[in-house]
Amino acid sequence: MEVIRLDRVSLYRRTQEEFSYDFKTSLISLLEGKYRHPNRKLVLSDINLTLRAGDRVGIVGANGSGKSTLLKVICGILKPTGGKVSVSGNLAPLIELGAGFDASMSVSDNVIMYGVMLGFARREMRRRLPSILDFAELEDYAFAPVKSLSSGMKARLGFAVATDVRPDILLLDEVLSVGDAQFRKKCRRRIEKFWAENVTIIVVSHDLKFIRQWCQRAVWLEHGKIAFTGSVDETVERYLAEVERV
């Protein structure tokens, strides 16, 4: 069964130049006859990708090649400029863990809000709250504001919420490096359990050993385009050969 499909997906993002353009500078440069549309960068270009239930796909590529952006497009954080993304099943995005929390709200309220954002009912989240706080080892912080947590603690909380139930699809963006050594071990165990349960998984990582060990297929991204996709070994070898070449 097909669970993820990307058809000719592309995405333009604003550059710093465009961010800094305001109405006044645009008007002045227009009057001076110097107006030029600020640059936009094509960060994903013509991506076609299909995953079937239980597939485990690794995404590799240099810094800035579009790996995280691709995951954000799949989970709906970013809307593609062109093409179509279809996803079926409940999806747990482990991306920029904790970035969506509201710093002034309590840990418990954030857990509930985060879960609701992931598509769970409020009542269901209240029921799951104790097991989430237990996994994150943050029971003592239930009523403290999120701003009183360290960044590692926030990441732990984000991981605990997103993985509290078995998702159909898991998106992992370098998240196995969250928290301290003991917590990383716990995260790995939870993820390995999903692996054994045939969850569909996409992993973005620079840890090629990890990708080789856990994925069957891989996608090598270069400047927002698929440079190669195939078996994990062939893709990683081609990517490494290119890295050696330049």
d(CA 239, CA 246): 11
Q: Which is nearer to ligand ATP, 41 or 166 (CB)?
A: 41
Let me know: does 206 contact 61? Beta carbons within 8 Å: no
Task: Figure out which of the listed residues 69, 108, 163, 205 binds ligand ATP, where binding follows CB under 6 A.
Answer: 69
Q: Which is nearer to ligand ATP, 106 or 229 (CB)?
A: 229
Q: Does 61 bind ligand ATP (CB under 6 A)?
A: yes
Give all strands (DSSP E) within 102-224, no chain letters: 169-173, 200-204, 217-222
Task: Figure out which of the listed residues 64, 76, 89, 130 binds ligand ATP, where binding follows CB under 6 A.
Answer: 64
Q: Which is nearer to ligand ATP, 5 or 13 (CB)?
A: 13
Let me know: does 70 contact 47? Beta carbons within 8 Å: yes
Closest CA to 128 of 99, 105, 161, 101: 161
Task: Figure out which of the listed residues 66, 93, 115, 179 binds ligand ATP, where binding follows CB under 6 A.
Answer: 66
The residue assigned the tokens 């001076």 is: 32
Q: Does 205 bind ligand ATP (CB under 6 A)?
A: no
Q: How many amino acids of this chain bind ligand ATP (CB under 6 A)? A: 12
Task: Figure out which of the listed residues 5, 10, 12, 13 binds ligand ATP, where binding follows CB under 6 A.
Answer: 13
Torsions phi, psi of 61, nearest 5?
150, 165
The DSSP-derived string for 153-181 is: HHHHHHHHHHTSS--SEEEEESGGG-S-H
Q: Does 45 bind ligand ATP (CB under 6 A)?
A: no
Q: Does 67 bind ligand ATP (CB under 6 A)?
A: yes
Point out which residues bind ligand ATP (CB under 6 A). Answer: 13-14, 41, 43, 61, 63-69
